[in-house]
């Protein structure tokens, strides 16, 4: 049976450094993690990698050092700072949650899974991760890394996602009462650095002795996954109108739905037919670029036709509003919209 103490000993020497993490030596010296920073990192890490999140995390926490600072922020500033990180519902929930904690809980994050689950945008994984990492409670935390490690340690061949309950039970059974916060991070680190999807480094793994997949020679084939259906392709049209004074016509998308609350180019709906119905947001001589902007979301690939025009000062748009050239920052656009702008800029 794998021992948590073996993994913790490995973690003491091999923990990854992350801007939100309190390392094992600091923890042993009595430093406790800031629940605000742990919560923010976990929200940012949903569906995203550590490498992609680091800069965003540094910027957010430099600008809004406490949950009360974030709660008092303008929605548009937070959405703009989030631009490019994707899954924009997370940014809206981040704000909602900060406001609940600041206004209703005196700025203090709750420490139990049950209480954390009541906060906006906090699901079972995030609640478990915050309870465990920030408050050192023995919660079970199962991400993709942990699933892979468990499937291999116990040589589980049931494909994901059907295997999830079994892998969660196995992870729960291994979670110790001693240093549970360090342990949760240690399994994730093991999955990210040693027990990697391809070519696991079994020779230097602290769990190589008890690992059943290593003994059976099946590690590289695990975890098994049910094949995914291919993603559909959706088509859309984006209109980039520039006024003669350099201002761009932008529209804030509705709060609900994809890219909700973000600024973007006016355009058609995104649909699975090649020629979506669309109407220009302003009267102009529109030209269509030869290349489409392409972006992949979780559930579909997007092909965005880009129409561009130069419009006179006195023309009024039917949707959106002009943003002055010195205020417009393409970095504040969500990635799909920024790709359309990049095509326009290079055209
Ligand atoms: S021995 Fe290999 S397969 Fe098993 S947990 Fe360690 S790295 Fe993963």
Which two three-digit tokens encode residue 256? 């609900």
Tokens representing 33 are 């993690």
Q: Which among 9, 26, 42, 81 is annotated as catalytic?
A: 42
Pocket test for ligand 1, best of 154, 200, 222, 223 (most atoms within 8 A of CB): 200
Residue 180 to residue 182: CA distance in whole angstroms: 6
Q: Whose CA is nearest to atom 8 of ligand 1?
A: 195
Question: Which long-range CB contacts under 8 A does 174-177 form with residues at least 24 apart?
Answer: 174/2, 174/4, 174/150, 175/4, 175/138, 175/139, 175/140, 176/4, 176/5, 176/8, 176/138, 177/138
CA 10 to centroid of ligand 1, rounded, Å: 13
Determine the distance separating the centroid of ligand 1 and the alpha carbon of 208, expressed in angstroms: 6
CB neighbourhood size of 88 (10 A): 20
Distance (Å, whole) CA 230 – CA 214: 32
**SS3 of residue 258 by DSSP:** coil
- Give the angle 246-248-249 at the CA atoms, nearest 5°: 145
d(CA 51, ligand 1 centre) in Å: 23
How does pLDDT run along the chain (347 residues), one tens digit per residue?
A: 899 999 999 999 999 999 999 999 999 999 999 999 999 999 999 888 899 999 999 999 999 999 999 999 999 999 999 998 888 888 999 999 999 999 999 999 999 999 999 999 999 999 999 999 999 999 999 989 999 999 999 999 999 999 999 999 999 999 999 999 999 999 999 999 999 999 999 999 999 999 999 999 999 999 999 988 899 999 999 999 999 999 999 999 887 778 888 889 999 989 998 777 788 999 999 999 999 999 999 889 999 999 999 999 999 999 999 999 999 999 889 999 999 999 999 85
- Residue 227 alpha carbon to ligand 1 centre in Å: 23
The sign of the dihedral angle between the CA atoms of 270, 274, 278, 283 is positive
Average model confidence (pLDDT) across the chain: 94
Distance CA 293, CA 302 (A): 8
Q: Among this protein's residues, is 42 annotated catalytic?
A: yes
The pLDDT of residue 24 is 96
**What is the structure's pLDDT at 246?**
95
CA dihedral 335, 17, 195, 186 (to 10 degrees): -120
User: What is the per-residue pLDDT for 259?
Assistant: 85
* Under 8 Å between Cβ of 246 and 322: no
For residue 184, what pLDDT is reported?
Answer: 95
Q: Which two tokens stand for residue 286?
A: 């529109």
- Please give the pLDDT value at position 347: 59
Which pair of tokens denotes residue 161?
């996602």
> Which residue is closest in CA terms to ligand 1's atom 2?
202
pTM (predicted TM-score): 0.77
> Is the CA virtual torsion 58, 63, 68, 74 positive or negative?
negative
pLDDT of amino acid 298: 84
Task: Give the integer Cα–Cα distance in Å for 199 and 90.
Answer: 33
- Residues found in the chain: 347
36 Cβ contact list (under 8 Å, min separation 6): 66, 67, 70, 109
CB atoms within 10 A of CB 318: 10
Alpha-carbon gap, residue 99 to 112, rounded angstroms: 19
């Amino acid at each position: 049976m794998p021992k948590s103490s073996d993994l913790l000993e490995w973690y003491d020497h091999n923990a990854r450094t992350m801007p939100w993490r309190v390392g094992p030596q600091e923890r042993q010296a009595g430093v406790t993690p800031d629940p605000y920073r742990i919560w923010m990192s976990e929200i940012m890490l949903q569906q995203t990698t550590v490498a992609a999140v680091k800069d965003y995390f540094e910027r957010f926490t430099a600008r809004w050092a406490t949950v009360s600072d974030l709660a008092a922020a303008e929605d548009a500033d937070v959405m703009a700072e989030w631009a490019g990180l994707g899954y924009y519902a997370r940014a809206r929930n981040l704000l909602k949650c900060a406001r609940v904690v600041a206004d209703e809980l005196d700025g203090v994050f709750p420490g139990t899974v049950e209480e954390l689950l009541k906060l906006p945008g906090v699901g079972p994984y995030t609640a478990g991760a915050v309870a465990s990492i920030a408050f050192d409670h023995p919660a079970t935390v199962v991400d993709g890394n942990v699933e892979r490690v468990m499937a291999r340690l116990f040589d589980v061949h049931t494909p994901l996602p059907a295997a999830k309950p079994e892998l969660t039970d196995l992870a729960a059974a291994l979670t110790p009462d001693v240093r549970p916060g360090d342990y949760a991070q240690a399994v994730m680190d093991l999955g990210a650095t040693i027990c990697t999807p391809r070519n696991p480094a079994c020779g230097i793994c602290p769990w190589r002795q008890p690992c059943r997949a290593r003994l059976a020679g099946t590690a590289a084939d695990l975890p098994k996954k049910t094949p995914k259906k291919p993603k559909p392709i959706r088509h859309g049209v984006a209109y980039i109108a520039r006024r003669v004074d350099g201002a761009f016509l932008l529209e804030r998308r509705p709060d609900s739905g994809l890219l909700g609350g973000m600024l973007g180019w006016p355009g058609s709906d995104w649909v699975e037919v090649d020629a979506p119905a669309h109407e220009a947001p302003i009267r102009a001589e529109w030209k269509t670029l030869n290349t489409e902007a392409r972006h992949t979301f979780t559930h579909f690939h997007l092909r965005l036709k880009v129409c561009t025009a130069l419009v006179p000062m006195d023309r009024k748009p039917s949707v959106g509003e002009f943003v002055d050239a010195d205020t417009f920052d393409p970095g504040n656009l969500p990635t799909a919209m920024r790709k359309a702008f990049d095509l326009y800029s290079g055209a």
